[in-house]
Amino acid sequence: MVVTEARKFIRADGPDKVTGSGRYVADISLTGMAVAKFKYAGIAHARITRLDVAKARAIPGVFAVLTQDDVPNVRFGAIPDRTLFASDVVRFEGEVVAAVAAIDTRTASEALDAIEVEYEPLPIVDDLELALDDESPLVHSGWSEYDADHVERNRNVASFSSIARGDVVAGFDEADVVITSAFEADASHAVPIEPRGILAQWEGENVTIWSATQVPFQARAGVCETLGLATNKVRVIVPHLGGGFGGKCGFHFEAHVAALARAAGRPVKLVFTREEEFVAPDRRREGMTIEVTTGLRKDGTLVARRGRLLLDNGAYTADADFFPQLAAMHLAGPYKVPNVLIEASLIYTNRQPSGSVRAPTAPQACWALESHTDELAAAVGMDPVDFRRLNAIDSGAVGVVGQTYGEIGLQACIEAAVDTIGYGSVVANDEAIGVAIGWWPSFPGPSGIYIKIDDDGAGQIITGAQECGTGAVMTLPGLVAGELGMRPEDFDLVYQDTSAAPYDVGATGSQTLLNNGRAALSGARELGRQLKELAAEHLEASAEDIILANGEASVAGSPTSSVSIVQLAAIAADNNLLLAHGSSEVLEDPPLVGSTCVGDQGVAAWSAPQFSCHAVRVRLDRETGVVRVLEVSAAHDSGTIINHVGAVGQVEGGVLMGIGQALTEGTRYDEGSKQLNPGLLEYKLQTIADAPSITTQFVEINTPDAGPHGAKGLAEAPNVATAGAIANAVAKLVGQPLRQLPMTAERIWEAV
């Protein structure tokens, strides 16, 4: 079964969101609820010489003041390198030193001011190259005590990965042309519309936490780990979530608020200000320095590639331990290169921790590689699109890590994108068209679902999947209804509650439809089997002959012999409930031949990889350096498209986010590594007024061993190639590649 256009129906969360009646964490109030506020370090690197909270605790209306002395001394993280509160040393400006629960915001702020903290400043590590020196200060002087056996560690290097294939030295000797390019990308932010919010309430030894998180099961695990609680004592509920883009992945502040609520003896709610949302969370897009050298023959064939990447980890390793390998894959790119050596290091600095912002590492590495690719094409006198046609992988090709790809649509994406935008046609003198290709892995994993049909024929889907606005969870009723011959409207959804639903990894890695969709089909098929057996008994037929369609179970070849699913549900209610569960089988990684991956974190082999080509037309004002994106043609191979409307929305959103990363979004720091632009006035997001014309095309390939009906992921892929395509268009107008991201008006003006 291939679904190219799902019938439109009202998604379950739609009415609440468009009418404004939906409740987010900030909207929830409980009787006796206190307000939480955090005391932040405000300094990038220092030793705490004195911390006194006595005056704060004595203020009337203050219910609790906590420091690390008041919670278990447990280290956590992908590399367990931090505690809930700073204890001896603070390592970035947004680190939490203490937390307050008070009767209102004013009293909580007064308590923060009353907390006395004295620091002994320590040397700041904020230069990725200097951080590698043997004489560099250490961000973590005691890192050898951390449990980090799964990563390669060395002083300020938190994690290291390399990809090696063939003989790169011999490959360069064989090359006719060798080109080296260097780039630098600033850190940036996810910036969801809804700031982070958390509410915790204890009932005896059990705690319920309402959290604006993309990953409620991970949040629950983190609370259990850091507060020493059993899993069945912690319940995490996610109300409506106002976006995340990876910035609300992982765990951190839920445990702070839960601990405050227990100490205060009442519910406690934390809602970040916009500045806090920029400074405190440990999920921002990593800054990066990139150097890439490629050797090629005169005919344009690639023969060797060497790359070096340094990633700014920030002060702690939230979930970025595997990012070096991910970045190395993106610098290698979806190209045929027989000899490769790429090395990537994740570097501790005294800046905000990096983490899983939409397609982590990919936009920066792809921007650098695709800019470099245009340089390669120019060096041998080839058109950039023809160069990609020659060197990009296609079905049956062997990639840089020795993976042989099945049927893929990258070459078809190139043709679709350039044809739609009119590549090669005459454009105005102040305009140019740029092209870039990209790829992104799928992340198969475990996921579960329950499905039931009540006695009135109404269905219910109970899923652990998380809905952060993508619509992936909202697609599940369509999948289930399609298997059972019912309508999507026949099913209600129960989701975003760890105590009600089976496990799901959460809204991260573009995996919801991929994994929970497979679980939904599995459960629906089991429920379909039950319906067919019940109908066969009622109709005196064989279950193999029963067809489920249009709300009925009928006997094949005998359309008059049928029974409605409503009738079957009523019959089942007397003796055998219509109830099923489904789970997604974890797919095996494809084999790799002839390559070596040091620091292998499991992201070199890509099951069901996604591919894209973006072509953009831009206009440059040479007097100001301002670039305006006029038109984008985005072509994607994301397997079978299940929900066309939702898929187009994902591409359009990813493209607009990519434009921001390309042109305006970047974090600036002062000499003390404090953010200079932690607010929406100074941090320049794209708005609807900046949105260009976007044409989306899907190269649909039913991909075996992928998601439901051959679907792949989609949410992150549109964010990968956009900046690279814009950069290549701008380079044509400026006459040289731009070496810094974002390519702000100031930087472009200087290049002009």
Give the tens place of pLDDT for each residue, 401-432: 999 999 999 999 999 999 999 999 999 999 99
Per-residue pLDDT at 7: 56
Phi first, then psi: what are they for 238, rounded to 5°? -110, 110
- CA quadruple 172, 327, 631, 408: dihedral sign: positive
Alpha helices by DSSP H, 333-463:
362-379, 384-391, 410-421
Task: Say if pTM beats, i.e. exceeds, 0.85.
Answer: yes
Flag whether pLDDT at 3 surpasses 50. no
Per-residue pLDDT at 4: 35
Percent of the chain clearing pLDDT 70 (strictly above) = 99
- Taking only the tens place, the pLDDT of each residue in 331-346 is 999 999 999 999 999 9
In the chain, the N- to C-terminal Cα span, in Å, equals 53
- CA quadruple 657, 658, 664, 667: dihedral sign: positive
pLDDT band at 601, cuts 50/70/90? confident
Flag whether pLDDT at 234 surpasses 80. yes
- Taking only the tens place, the pLDDT of each residue in 87-114 is 999 999 999 999 999 999 999 999 999 9
Per-residue pLDDT at 242: 95
Flag whether pLDDT at 26 surpasses 70. yes
- When the pLDDT of each residue in the chain is averaged and rounded to a whole number, the result is 95
533 or 705, which is more confident? 533
Q: Which fold has domain 445-583?
A: Aldehyde Oxidoreductase; domain 4 (3.30.365)
Flag whether pLDDT at 269 surpasses 60. yes
- Taking only the tens place, the pLDDT of each residue in 424-458 is 999 999 999 999 999 999 999 999 999 999 999 99
- CA quadruple 199, 14, 459, 465: dihedral sign: negative
Between CA 695 and CA 522 the distance in angstroms is: 34
691, 629 Cβ separation under 8 angstroms: no
Closest CA to 506 of 707, 212, 189: 212
Flag whether pLDDT at 2 surpasses 50. no
Per-residue pLDDT at 40: 98
Per-residue pLDDT at 705: 83
**Residue 40 CA to chain centroid, in angstroms?**
26
Between CA 71 and CA 84 the distance in angstroms is: 8
Flag whether pLDDT at 665 surpasses 70. yes
Flag whether pLDDT at 519 surpasses 90. yes
Flag whether pLDDT at 264 surpasses 70. yes
Between CA 55 and CA 119 the distance in angstroms is: 18
Closest CA to 283 of 94, 427, 112: 94
Mean pLDDT of 603-613: 93
Q: Where are the domains positioned within the chain? A: 18-122+196-271, 361-443+605-751, 445-583
- Taking only the tens place, the pLDDT of each residue in 546-592 is 999 999 999 998 878 999 999 999 999 887 789 999 999 877 888 99
Per-residue pLDDT at 6: 45
Q: Per the omega criterion (within 30 degrees of 0), is the bond before 742 cis?
A: yes
The CATH number that domain 18-122+196-271 falls under is 3.90.1170.50
> Residue with structure tokens 């024929």?
457
Flag whether pLDDT at 704 surpasses 50. yes
Q: Side-chain half-sphere of 673: how many Cα atoms within 13 Å?
A: 27
519, 451 Cβ separation under 8 angstroms: no
Mean pLDDT of 635-641: 97
Per-residue pLDDT at 215: 97
Looking at 3.40.50.720, 3.60.21.10, 3.20.20.70, 3.30.365.10, the CATH number of the domain 361-443+605-751 comes to 3.30.365.10
The reply to whether 445-583 shares the fold of 361-443+605-751 is yes
Flag whether pLDDT at 746 surpasses 90. yes
Mean pLDDT of 238-261: 96
Q: Which amino acid is at 274?
A: R
Between CA 407 and CA 395 the distance in angstroms is: 5
Closest CA to 335 of 390, 290, 415, 406: 390
For 417, the 3-state DSSP assignment is helix
